[in-house]
Every structure is written in C-alpha cells, then in structure tokens.
Amino acid sequence: MASQVSGGSLLAALDVEHPEWRPLLVLIEAAQREAERPHWARFVPAPGHQGREGRPLLDGAVISVAPKLIERWVRHILALAASAGTEVEPLVNAVAAGRLDPSLLFETAVSQDVDRFHEIARVERDYRGVLRGLASLIAMPMLQTCWRVWAERVPTDWTYGYCPVCGGWPALAEIRGLDGARHLRCGCCGSDWRTEWLRCPFCREGDHEKLGFLVSPEGLERQSIEVCDVCRGYVKTITTLTAIRPDDVLLHDLATLPLDMAALERDYRRPAARGSAVAVGVVAESWRLRDLLSLRA
Ligand SMILES: [Zn+2]
Ligand SMILES: [Zn+2]
C-alpha cells in the first residue's frame, strides 16, 4: 500500500499505483528537489515577531530574493506544468511575453493568496483547482526552507489549528510514537505542531459528543478520519512510529485520497479559506543593494 511507505519510495509507489497522477507527481518531485537546493536558506528572513497570539511567523515577513533564481524556478515549474497538459497557458504566456513578473507570481504563491493568484493569472475560474495546487508547489521550496530554519522559533505552546509558520490548515494529523502524541502537519511548509486529542483544528470544538471518527475504507487500518459536527470539517489521521518527513507530507496527503472521498461522501469538508492570512513582501536583493547605495550617496 503506497501510503505505508515513505520518502522516494512513496513517490515511486504512487507512480506505480496511480499512473494517472503522473503529471502531478512530476511537479511534486520537482518541488521537492528544488526545496533541497541550499540557496533558499539565504532568502529566509529573521521573523519580525515571536509568533504570539496566533500570528504565523511568516506574517509580515519581507523576503529578499535573487530575481534570477526565482525566475528560473517559476519558469521551470510552469514549463513542467504546461508539458504535463495542465491548464496553465495564461500564466506561461504572460511570463514568456514579459507581462507577468515571476517575482510577483512567487510573492502571491508564498502568501498563498489564491484569489490574488487567480487575478494575476487573469483566469475567471480555476478549473479543477489547478492554479491553487500550482501556487502551493511554487511556494513549497521557500516555505519548507522557512520551516527548516524557523522550527526552533515556533512557540511550544502553539494551540491553534492552523500552521504556526505559514497559516495554512493542516493536511493531516499524525498519531505518533509509543505515547501516541497527536501532531498536526502542514502540507505547504511541512511544519509539525503538537495538539490535544479531541480538538477540532478548524473551529476548536473540544466537546467529545460533537467530535467523532469515521470508519476507514478497507485496507487503510492505520488511518482514520476525525470529524467535527459543529463546522463539518474533517482531518485525516495517520498512525506513525516517527515523524513524516516535511517534504513527504504532501505525498501522504495524496496517498490518503480514499479518506477524503469517504469524508466527502458524508458531507464533511476541508475549509476552503486559509487558517490565518499572512502578508508577505518579496523584494529583489539587487534592489535593496541599490537602495542602500543611494542612501549612502
Ligand atoms: Zn505551513
Ligand atoms: Zn469544527
């Protein structure tokens, strides 16, 4: 079962079990490879605050980047998406014609401001959520590097249901190790934060009479679906011995698609809106240098 393996073997297993997902798997693999490149760590700013009162660390960040590197990455993933046959022509054409600045696209993706992403892409509708998924993949190398660099800065008493780094809702929950601690995991940045048992991450309901489990589809014994009858939200839960690697959270999210189907059949949903909006500015390194020099002149 693909969902019970990890790392490169999970990607390979999904590729064998679901050849129809290959176009998406190619994009995820590209984003994983990109996230491993060391230059992203150079762009991670120091957080401007301590992440108190539910404010994700990314909120208010100004990321200073090398435009050429951003442009190379954005063009690469767009080209891959186009060759995989996804509906990204408006974006590819706008970038190729110089009408759309890749850094602006990158800034919108890192902010995960999907409405603005659609506006920039000049599309009226996001057919099958292609652009939403693409925005997450464009942002993934930066967001995962932020998590790697900031992990120690996340407040240990973070009790919110959304990600303490990027503000996204959890992709899944892990019941981990021998003590069965419950951790929520972000599919965008890979972050990992501990949470109480019997607490809805979306509306924070804690009354056990309003929370429950759905029976897992056959063959998925180590997985379950936690549901909330107040907000009708659900979170997929996986029992693990050790933490899922940050860059594999998205693959586990994909591998557990039968759980999503089972939840949707019973009218439970993942919230469409973000957990907590974050404002992120992206500026060019060279612009900042010029600015500094002009101040000195
Ligand atoms: Zn996150
Ligand atoms: Zn709820």
Q: How confident is the model at residue 297 (pLDDT cuts 50, 70, 90)?
A: very low
Asked if residue 61 lies in contact with residue 280, where contact means CB atoms within 8 angstroms, the answer is yes
Q: 112 vs 128, which has greater pLDDT? A: 112
- Closest ligand to Cα 270: 2
Domain boundaries, the chain: 2-153+278-296, 170-265
Rounded distance from Cα 273 to ligand 2 centre (Å): 14
Rounded distance from Cα 144 to ligand 1 centre (Å): 8
Average pLDDT over every residue of 66-79: 93
Residue 126's pLDDT is 61
Rounded distance from Cα 192 to ligand 1 centre (Å): 8
pTM of the full predicted structure?
0.89
* Residue 266: how many other CB atoms lie within 10 Å: 11
Q: How confident is the model at residue 133 (pLDDT cuts 50, 70, 90)?
A: confident
Rounded distance from Cα 226 to ligand 2 centre (Å): 10
- Closest ligand to Cα 274: 1
How far apart, in whole angstroms, are the C-alpha atoms of residue 126 and residue 103?
21
Rounded distance from Cα 206 to ligand 2 centre (Å): 9
Residue 288's pLDDT is 54
169-220 pLDDT tens trace: 999 999 999 999 999 999 999 999 999 989 999 999 999 999 999 977 676 6
How far apart, in whole angstroms, are the C-alpha atoms of residue 119 and residue 164?
27
Burial class (CB within 10 angstroms; exposed 0-12, middle 13-18, buried 19+) of 187: buried
Q: How confident is the model at residue 132 (pLDDT cuts 50, 70, 90)?
A: confident
Rounded distance from Cα 161 to ligand 2 centre (Å): 10
Rounded distance from Cα 117 to ligand 1 centre (Å): 18
Q: Picking from 15-24, 32-41, 99-108, 280-289, which range would have the lowest pLDDT averaged per residue?
A: 280-289
- Closest ligand to Cα 206: 2
Residue 51's pLDDT is 93
13-47 pLDDT tens trace: 999 999 888 888 999 999 999 999 999 999 999 99
Answer whether residue 128 shows pLDDT above 70.
Answer: no
Indicate the average pLDDT of the chain. 88
Residue 124's pLDDT is 58
Residue 292's pLDDT is 54
Give the β-pairing of 281-284 and 62-65: parallel
Answer whether residue 123 shows pLDDT above 70.
Answer: no
Rounded distance from Cα 224 to ligand 2 centre (Å): 16
Rounded distance from Cα 234 to ligand 1 centre (Å): 18
Average pLDDT over every residue of 264-289: 84
